[in-house]
Amino acid sequence: MFFKRVLFFIVINIAVLFVLNIVLSLLQASGIIDLSSAANGGFNYHLIGLISAAVFGMGGSFIALLVSRWMAKRMMGVQVFDANTNDSRARWIYKTVEAQAKEARIKMPEVGIFPSNSPNAFATGSSRNRSLVAVSSGLLDTMSEHEVEAVLAHEVAHVANGDMVTMALIQGIIDTFVIILARIAGTFIDRVIFKNEEGVGMGYFIGYIVASIVLTIMATPIVMWFSRKREFKADAGAAYLVGKEKMIAALERLKIATSRDQVEALPDEMAAFGIVDKDAWSALFSSHPPIEARIEALRKL
């Protein structure tokens, strides 16, 4: 499944580069932007430039994916344990994830607890067979065993669905578009507004930076829309593993905690794979659907 996703990612990006190369050629023919070679004083937007944008766009996402477990452990202070731990609660968590992973047909994830009074959890990792599932100490203190079991199942479902890879692929495609379009905007501003005809002027850098910020903000709702879709699927996966009533009960508990402002936001790197989102100033920028919508979707299963 991992290699199919990567192959799909590569095919999509080749298609993106092909289409953008045609668009840029049309813009050059119409005289809107200058696509002459760097040797002649212009900014090179030919195929090499497109490929470099794809490398930067895709490369950043894949590097973040590859180091995601390492980063999560250090950023969140995750204490990883195994079945031999002396802590009975941690041992129960490990055995629960082990059974769920077997049912979901994935390799056993690393399992850990991170210090936080807020009830939350997350999954991360570079693939279905190299993952980490972690829960907060606050979640263990505020939820029953059945509710914790459902939260663990939700995170295992994220891993089984390959959501970390999927979101990295989507982010990589978005980043590629942002880089290329920001370069186009920078060149347009440099040539048309600043009237620079030699090399790359200050207008390019100003235009590139401003366009990158604006385009990133505009593209974020697309990524978040995919993230919300993955949440519904992870909830359904948890319902399959432990029963929908347990998952509904866990979400009801999180709903209460959220209403009391007891839930803290996870870092951006893990937010999309947590059990609940917080502090999104708009529904369009939220990585999770409203808890009420998730409960309603579960009841309809």
Strands 110-114 and 79-81: antiparallel
Eight-state DSSP code of residue 131: E
Tell me whether residue 155 is one of the annotated catalytic residues.
Answer: yes
- The alpha carbon of 205 is separated from its chain's Cα centroid by a whole number of angstroms, namely 28
Residue 160 in contact with residue 198, Cβ under 8 Å?
A: no
Q: How far apart are CA 289 and CA 284, in angstroms?
A: 10
Residue 123 in contact with residue 179, Cβ under 8 Å?
A: no
Q: Which of 148, 139, 151, 133 is nearest to 69 (CA)?
A: 133
**Count of residues for the chain?**
301
Q: How far apart are CA 42 and CA 95, in angstroms?
A: 61
Q: Could you give the strand order of the β-sheet that contains 130-136, starting from the edge strand earlier in sequence?
A: 79-81, 110-114, 130-136, 121-127
Eight-state DSSP code of residue 67: T
Residue 176 in contact with residue 73, Cβ under 8 Å?
A: no
Strands 121-127 and 110-114: unpaired
HEC secondary structure over 132-169: EEEEEHHHHHHCCHHHHHHHHHHHHHHHHCCHHHHHHH
Which one is catalytic: 110, 147, 149, 155? 155
Q: Which of 280, 1, 33 is nearest to 159 (CA)?
A: 1
Query: What is the SS3 assignment for 69?
Result: helix
The residues that are catalytic are 155
